[in-house]
Amino acid sequence: MFTGIITDIGEVLATERRGDIRARIGTGYDIAGIDIGASIACDGVCLTVIAKGTDPRGWFDVEISAETVSKTNIGAGGWPAGKRLNLERALKVGDELGGHIVSGHVDGVAEVVAVRPEGDSLRVTFRAPRALAGFIAPKGSVALNGTSLTVNEVEGTDFGVNFIPHTQTATTWGRVAVGDRVNLEIDTLARYVARLRDWAAETASA
């Protein structure tokens, strides 16, 4: 589990296809403190560390399955060398929950359709897949590229998010542009509320 609070900006150093995709990601994390088998959210995708090293800089390797590629922005152009990624280590018992509960299981890909300055902040409008739009509510939470964010407004499949200066510098969001495709994970609470609603309707009609 994660919180959506980004703690490092990593960089894709190399990728290789071995049936699945194997990616090497450079990081500022202390490599000695990362165990093989640990989970790290990379742009919101929960991935397992399978190798690590420090030459010429700290790095870890992950394998990305075809299923993950199909559900994330990895399938929309891949992760080329040099791509910057939002990173978060897995939540530990006793850690501060500064964002919201994030599983690292991406539900789909949203598209950036508008970016405009608003004071020192950026107001960004995203377009969600229609099947996921109903789970997104004003003042609710979403995870976008692994970042816990509050939704400002919703209109149809479009929703807006405000990025303060700190978020722009502490994550990859300072470089956001129209046309970007981003990993979207809906709020777990919204998912269960919808399931309970559907279950109640099914039970009533049985």
Question: What total of structural domains would you count in the chain?
Answer: 2
State the Cα–Cα distance between residues 74 and 165, nearest whole angstrom.
Answer: 27
Q: Is 52 inside any structural domain?
A: yes
- Residue 184 is predicted with a pLDDT of 97
Whether the pLDDT of residue 9 is over 90: the answer is yes
- Residue 194 is predicted with a pLDDT of 75
Which one of 34, 57, 89 terminates a domain?
Answer: 89
State the Cα–Cα distance between residues 80 and 116, nearest whole angstrom.
Answer: 27
Both 84 and 130 in a single domain?
A: no
State the Cα–Cα distance between residues 92 and 81, nearest whole angstrom.
Answer: 30
Question: What average pLDDT does this structure show over 31-56?
Answer: 97
Question: What average pLDDT does this structure show over 133-155?
Answer: 95
**Burial of 173 by CB count in 10 Å (0-12 exposed, 13-18 middle, 19+ buried)?**
buried
**Burial of 174 by CB count in 10 Å (0-12 exposed, 13-18 middle, 19+ buried)?**
middle
Whether the pLDDT of residue 190 is over 90: the answer is no
Both 21 and 84 in a single domain?
A: yes
pLDDT tens-digit map of 89-127 = 998 877 777 888 899 999 999 999 999 999 999 999 999
State the Cα–Cα distance between residues 93 and 97, nearest whole angstrom.
Answer: 10
Domain that holds residue 36: 8-89
- Residue 97 is predicted with a pLDDT of 76
Question: What average pLDDT does this structure show over 66-88?
Answer: 91
